[in-house]
Amino acid sequence: MQLTVCLILKKNKKYNKKIIKFLKNFIYKLDVFYGEVGQKLPKKIKKKRYDFLISYLSPWIINHKILKRTKFYNINFHPGPPKYPGIGCFNFALLNNDNSYGVTMHLMNKSVDSGKIIKTQYFSIKNLNLIEIIDKSYDEMFKLFTKEILKILKTKKINLSKEKWKRTAYTRKNLNKLLKLNLNMKPKEITNRINALYYQGYPNPYFTINNKKFYVIPEKNS
């Protein structure tokens, strides 16, 4: 296909190589950009006009001026269902004891996870822990990507879902509030928060005692 496509990925994420390989079989010109939270958006994205812009676990919030330059569509793949836009979708689902979860393909808007929904793929997360939910979500999102993206690239048309986002996007501030534990909480509440929020390499739940933070590291099962 004689298309120019901008693909934005997060560094060192599962399926990155497979996504690139999949698209390169069909796309005339594919520009791939990797990033991490805190890095600046590459200048080339700001200057070049693409036929399609695809964001897949992108660490960047793309400026609306850039989105307006795209000839056809700006498409984002969100690792959560419409119930959980924004950050911490896995954590909130686990905290709420959800048995069903999903990943969402949607058009990008100037606000995070607010654009019209194209497709949501649902699956069971019953009895799964946080790491298992994340892995399952990445698996399902790649399936959604390979199933839907080529139809859009070939036809340059989309069929929108009737689903709507259930709320405004969760923020880092929302997630950080849940990390703060206190000794007045019921043991079940503390346990639920630790199970839903502890993930190695990310901020951990903590208690504050005498103005000092004590971070919780769950005991490993023997």
Which ranges of 61-203 would DSSP assign to H, the alpha helix?
A: 64-69, 89-95, 130-155, 172-179, 187-197
Whole-prediction pTM value? 0.93
Q: What is the pLDDT of residues 160-174, one digit of tens each?
A: 999 999 999 999 999
Which ranges of 25-72 would DSSP assign to H, the alpha helix?
A: 43-47, 64-69
Q: What is the pLDDT of residues 63-115, one digit of tens each?
A: 999 999 999 999 999 999 999 999 999 999 999 999 999 999 999 999 999 99
Q: Quick check: 168 and 85 in contact, CB under 8 A?
A: yes
Domain with CATH 3.40.50.170 in the chain: 4-155
> Residue 120: helix, strand or coil by DSSP?
strand
4-155 CATH pick, 3.40.50.170, 2.30.42.10, 3.10.20.30, 3.40.50.720: 3.40.50.170
